[in-house]
Structure 1
Amino acid sequence: MLSKLQNHINKNLPFLKGKKLLLAVSGGIDSMVLLHLLKQLHFDISAAHCNFKLRGEESDGDENFVKSVCSGSGIKIYVNHFNTEEYADLHKQSIQVSARKLRYDWFDELLENEGFDYLLTAHHLDDSAETFLINFTRGTGLEGLTGIPERNAKIVRPLLSFSREEIENYAKDTAIQWREDSSNASDKYLRNKLRHDILPVLKELNPGFLSSFQQTLENLQQAQSMVDDASRIVYRKVVEDVANQKRIRLKELKILPNYQAYLYQWLKPFGFTAWNDIYDLVEAQSGKQIFSGKYRLLKDREVLILEALSENENEKYFIEENQTEIEHPIPMKISYVTNVTVTGSSEIIFVDKDSLKFPLVFRKWQEGDYFYPFGMTGKKKVSKYFKDEKFSLIDKENGWLLCSGNEIVWIVGKRADRRFSVTKTTQTILKFELK
């Protein structure tokens, strides 16, 4: 197994050579075998152990065991303790999800703060088969059937081509010690049930199951690669990235015979799961919207608009009297000028400074807001202006108002209020210009 791993690294993971590596070590057989192998191959490794405080003395025993092995092998070890149950209750997550979040957040910190190049985990071929079956039983797209990736950014899994049986045989042949996690014996978790009840049956039906499975994964990964390529090509033709929005043009989308597949590829990274509702949105009335955790997809006439949800719809920003530049929420330059120039641009306004009350305020529009549009007589509700200008719901919510006290000076980038216009009696002119 040692020579097989060395050949695998030489062929497929040569970038690991000469790098500073952090190995996630639980004390179980998989991570202890990987620790031993990498030590034999003279890689520059340190270990990271998580004590999740879930199994009392057993968890502490795992920690002490890993510390002892690393100390005896001259391997530096990092240890962190987590109150996993408290974290799970606080964030209303399962223990498994919480433990994963806690450990990978900590691993990321170690990578950055200690200068490690890569994090190595001991996932193997059986783990990948279990993940395949979990995703298959829950329902998934093609990407959920491609197994665990061998490399994901700075996370590398060198043992993915090795079976659990190979790892166990190597541990026994080299007298490697490890700790058994008692929770692995329970069928409380789906992964354990698949490991104990389903995979043994598949291996009995086909003694070469893992070899066949590995070939199937390679075929599926190649198919996924083609899907990704096609998705990127069609994306450039159908989707327009505008500011913080993605606008999917329905006219171009609907001529595709399999447009639902493209919607799935484009939208799945944003946490959407109600796929039938999303597909129905294409033919829905304008104004209908679907939410994921942090994003919204809105039907607006002949486009679907994707945008992140605002975290604070009541946010306000102030402009002091002598301020000359603003970077947030909208980059803007403010200057004193001696005369008004006709630009024809809605991104520039000139106002009578003496008509303003400082500090000025940037805020979002509210129901009941009205202004006196420049070039028109009378006043108009901002909501009516948005409707007449055919603003989408997202456009309305993203719009900013520049206000003097409770009065609107400018629907920023769109329309100025005539009450603050420069007149013959104006003594000081301020120019507001979007950058």
Structure 2
Amino acid sequence: MEKAFKNEIKSQFPYLCNSKILLAVSGGVDSVVLTHLCKRAKLDLSLAHCNFNLRDKESKADEEFVANLAKEMQAELFVENFDTVKYAKDNKLSTQMAARELRYQWFEELRLKHRFDFILTAHHANDNLETFFINLIRGTGLEGLSGINVDSNYIIRPLLKFSRKEIEAFAIANTIEWKEDSTNASTKYLRNKIRHDLVPILEEMNPQFLDTFLKTQSHLKENEQLVEDYLSLLYPKIVEKTDYGYSLDINYLKKIPNKAAVLYQLLKSFGFTEWNDVYHLLDAQPGKMVFSTSHRLVKDRDYLLLTEIDETEDKIYEISKDEDFVMLPMGTFSFLEVADIDEKVSNCIYVNPDKLEFPLKVRKWQQGDIFYPFGMKGKKKLSDFFKNKKLSLPQKENSWLLCSGEKIVWVVNQRADRRFSITSPDQKIIKITFSL
């Protein structure tokens, strides 16, 4: 296996030979063997061990074992202790997911702080197989079936082509000790149930099952790449970035084959789960919506409009009288006294400060809002003003108002209210500018 590993490094990861590497070590056979193999390959290695404090004395024994391994390898060691149970409870996660988040967050902190080039983990072929079945059981797209990536960002998994049997055989043949996690024997976890109950049945039916699985998964990865290449051609014809999110061209979507599959690939990263409702939006009435936990998809005439769910909808921001420059979540307001009115542009207005009631308020528009549009006679409902401008629902919802008391001073970047305009040359002039 040592020769095969060195060949794998040489052919697939030659850059590791001149890199500063952080290797994640639990104390289990996989990470311990990877440590020995990297040392024999003369890689520049430091070790990182997470103590999740989930197995009392066993967790402490693992930490001590890894400390001794680091001394044997003459490698720098980083250790972090986590209150995993508390983190899981505070973030409403399973213990396993909490441990995963804590682990990778800490690895990234170490990488940045100590300038490691790459992080190595000891995922192997059996991990890939188990992940495949987990995703299959829970429901997934093609990317979930194509398995663990051999590299993603700064994380490298050089053992993915090797089986658990090969790794254990190498450890035994070289009298390498490791620590066995007692929870690995429990089938209360889905991964362990697949490992101990499902996989042995499949291997009984086909002793070469793991090899045939890896070949099949390789084909799935190739198909996934084909899909990505196809989408890269379609993307600029369907999707347009907007001020509020993205718009998807419905008419173009309807012309292409497998439009539902394309829509899924375009939107899968935004958290949607009710996919039939998403697909039905193509033929729904304007105004129909579908929500995920973080985003909303709206049917608007010839487009599907994708926006983030707005957490500032009910918030009101105040601007005091003496503030010349105010940064708010939606953008920045500046207030400047000027002598004359320059050329008018959409992102600024000129007002009479004596008519302003402080603190000014910045809020989203609401149904029933009325203002007196500059350049027009009479008053107008904002809903009618938006309708005449043919604004989409997201554009309406992302419209902010600058208000004086209950009066609207400015529909920001759209139209000023004439009640605050300059009516005589001897009045003071305040120029209000808004910028993103």
Deviations 1:177-220 (A, max 9, x none): 11111111111111111111222222232222222222222211
Q: Where does 1:69-218 land on structure 2 (aligned, <5 Å)?
A: 69-218=69-218
Check whether the contact 2:324–2:335 (CA below 8 A) recurs between aligned residues: yes
Query: How many Å apart are 1:349 and its aligned residue?
Result: 2.8
Check whether the contact 1:317–1:363 (CA below 8 A) recurs between aligned residues: no
Q: Distance in 1 between matches of 2:101 and 2:434?
A: 41
Deviations 1:98-133 (A, max 9, x none): 111111111111111121111110000111111111
Q: Where does 1:35-50 land on structure 2 (aligned, <5 Å)?
A: 35-50=35-50
Q: Distance in 2 between matches of 1:14 and 1:359?
A: 63
Asked whether 1:353 is paired with 2:353, we answer yes
Measured at CA, do residues 260 and 175 of structure 1 come closer, stay the same or move farther in structure 2, by a change above 3 Å?
same
Q: Where does 1:398-417 land on structure 2 (aligned, <5 Å)?
A: 398-417=398-417
Asked whether 1:329 is paired with 2:330, we answer yes
Q: Does the residue aligned with 1:172 lie in a helix, a strand or coil? A: helix
Q: Distance in 2 between matches of 1:409 and 1:144?
A: 52
* Matched residue, 1:375: 375
For 2:305, the aligned partner's letter is I
* Matched residue, 2:311: 311
Check whether the contact 1:352–1:426 (CA below 8 A) recurs between aligned residues: no
Q: Which moved more, 1:119-128 or 1:137-146?
A: 137-146
Q: Distance in 2 between matches of 1:317 and 1:240?
A: 34
* Matched residue, 1:272: 272
Q: Distance in 2 between matches of 1:428 and 1:346?
A: 21
* Matched residue, 2:34: 34
Deviations 1:323-353 (A, max 9, x none): 268685235665544444565x544433233
Q: Does the residue aligned with 1:263 lie in a helix, a strand or coil? A: helix
Q: Distance in 2 between matches of 1:247 and 1:360?
A: 34
Runs of 4+ more than 6 Å apart: none
* Matched residue, 2:250: 250
Q: Distance in 2 between matches of 1:128 and 1:432?
A: 58
**Over aligned residue pairs, what C-alpha RMSD do you find?**
2.1
Q: Distance in 1 between matches of 2:404 and 2:343?
A: 24
For 1:49, the aligned partner's letter is H
Query: How many Å apart are 1:306 and its aligned residue?
Result: 0.9
Q: Distance in 2 between matches of 1:342 and 1:75?
A: 67
For 1:318, the aligned partner's letter is I
Q: Which moved more, 1:307-316 or 1:102-111?
A: 307-316
Check whether the contact 1:321–1:359 (CA below 8 A) recurs between aligned residues: no
For 1:103, the aligned partner's letter is R
Query: How many Å apart are 1:427 and its aligned residue?
Result: 2.2
* Matched residue, 2:240: 240
For 1:174, the aligned partner's letter is N
Deviations 1:374-429 (A, max 9, x none): 23333233234334434333222211112223321110111211101222355233
TM-score by length of 2: 0.93
Asked whether 1:298 is paired with 2:298, we answer yes
Asked whether 1:261 is paired with 2:261, we answer yes
Query: How many Å apart are 1:139 and its aligned residue?
Result: 2.0
Q: Distance in 2 between matches of 1:319 and 1:114?
A: 45
Q: Does the residue aligned with 2:200 lie in a helix, a strand or coil? A: helix
Q: Which moved more, 1:375-384 or 1:123-132?
A: 375-384
Asked whether 1:9 is paired with 2:43, we answer no
Q: Distance in 1 between matches of 2:250 and 2:12?
A: 42
Q: Which moved more, 1:72-81 or 1:409-418?
A: 72-81
Check whether the contact 1:260–1:279 (CA below 8 A) recurs between aligned residues: yes
Check whether the contact 2:318–2:359 (CA below 8 A) recurs between aligned residues: no
Gaps of at least 5 residues in structure 1 are: none
Q: Does the residue aligned with 1:282 lie in a helix, a strand or coil? A: helix
Check whether the contact 1:135–1:144 (CA below 8 A) recurs between aligned residues: yes
